[in-house]
């Protein structure tokens, strides 16, 4: 379905939910996501586990609130935050996040170096074609 139509339908569905409907029932009925069978429940999610657009929208919500339709590379979504918690991050998780950040930094540095090399190797010749 086109994105505009999905946004429109989810906007209507959001209105129904905010006026007394049940998010889980709506997810089971309308969602095409893998979480549909669980009523849209993703469980506890840690920072960095979801795509940035989804996380940004989710972080702006207070418990119980439902987002406007959110567009990501995976489709259009409605998000409801049920609760938040703060916990100590396990050492394995901390290591995984550190490795991912270092990998990202190295990738950025390699990309910047590659772009610099391309620019330094580029040759542009200006010619003026004058006909008399």
CATH topology of domain 3-77: Chitinase A; domain 3 (3.10.50)
Q: What are phi and psi of 74, to 5 degrees?
A: -95, -5
Distance in angstroms (rounded) separating the CA atoms of residues 26 and 16: 9
For 35-72, write each residue's pLDDT tens digit: 888 888 888 887 778 898 989 999 999 998 999 999 98
Q: CA-CA distance, 23 to 84, in Å (whole number)? A: 18
Sign of dihedral through CA atoms 97, 101, 104, 106? negative
Q: Report residue 77: phi and psi, to 5°.
A: -130, 155
- Tens digits of residue pLDDT in 84-121: 887 777 888 889 888 988 999 999 999 999 999 999 99
């Amino acid at each position: 379905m086109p994105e505009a139509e999905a946004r429109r339908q989810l906007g209507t569905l959001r209105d129904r939910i905010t006026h007394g409907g049940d998010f889980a029932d709506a997810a089971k009925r309308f969602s095409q996501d893998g979480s549909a069978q669980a009523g849209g429940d993703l469980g506890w999610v840690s920072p960095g586990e979801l795509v940035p657009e989804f996380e940004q929208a989710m972080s702006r919500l207070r418990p119980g609130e439902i987002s406007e339709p959110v567009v990501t590379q995976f489709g259009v979504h409605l998000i409801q935050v049920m609760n938040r918690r703060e916990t100590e991050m396990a050492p394995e998780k901390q290591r995984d996040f550190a490795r991912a950040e270092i990998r990202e930094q190295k990738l950025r540095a390699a990309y910047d170096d590659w772009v610099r090399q391309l620019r330094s190797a580029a040759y542009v010749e200006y010619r003026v074609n004058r006909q008399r």
